[in-house]
């Protein structure tokens, strides 16, 4: 399903956000002053990843009144 919706990049971005949070905690424990910038970058990565997850929902193609096709690249008629 993730491959069909092309959401792998969103998953990678959120994983980078988690790695950024771990790096922030390590830098904070060592009292490195630039740790706040890593935290800000991690927050931005989480926001971008979450918007990227919502992208297929916002731009879904309506098939009929009750069905929505999440992959608009497919040109199959399901009527």
Give the pLDDT score at 5. 58
Inside any domain, residue 6: yes
Domain that holds residue 6: 2-69
- 76 vs 43 pLDDT, higher one: 43
Residue 27, pLDDT score: 95
Is residue 9 situated within a structural domain?
yes
Is 48 a domain residue?
Answer: yes
Could you tell me if residue 75 is inside a domain? no
pLDDT of residue 56: 74
Which residues lie across from 30 on neighbouring strands? none
Q: Is the pLDDT of residue 44 over 50?
A: yes
Residue 61, token pair as written in the block: 């193609």
Task: Find all residues with CB under 8 Å of 35, minimum gap 6, and list them.
Answer: 24, 27, 28
Domain count, the chain: 1
Task: Classify residue 69 by burial, with Cβ atoms within 10 Å: 0-12, 13-18, 19+.
Answer: middle
pTM assigned to the model:
0.68
pLDDT class of 79 with cuts at 50, 70, 90: very low
What are 16-42's pLDDT values in tens digits? Answer: 999 999 999 999 999 999 999 999 999
Q: Give the number of other CB atoms < 10 A from CB of residue 24.
A: 20
Q: Is position 76 within any domain?
A: no
- Output the CA–CA distances (angstroms, integers) from residue 11 to 7, 29, 31, 60, in the order listed: 6, 27, 30, 19
- With respect to residue 79, please indicate whether it lies within any of the assigned structural domains: no
Q: Is position 54 within any domain? A: yes
């Amino acid at each position: 399903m993730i491959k069909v919706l092309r959401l792998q990049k969103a998953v990678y971005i959120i994983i980078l956000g988690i790695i950024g949070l771990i790096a922030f905690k390590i830098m904070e424990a060592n009292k490195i002053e630039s740790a706040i910038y890593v935290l800000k970058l991690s927050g931005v990565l989480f926001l971008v990843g979450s918007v990227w997850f919502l992208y297929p929902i916002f731009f879904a193609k309506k098939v009929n009144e009750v069905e929505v096709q999440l992959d608009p690249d497919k040109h199959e008629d399901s009527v």
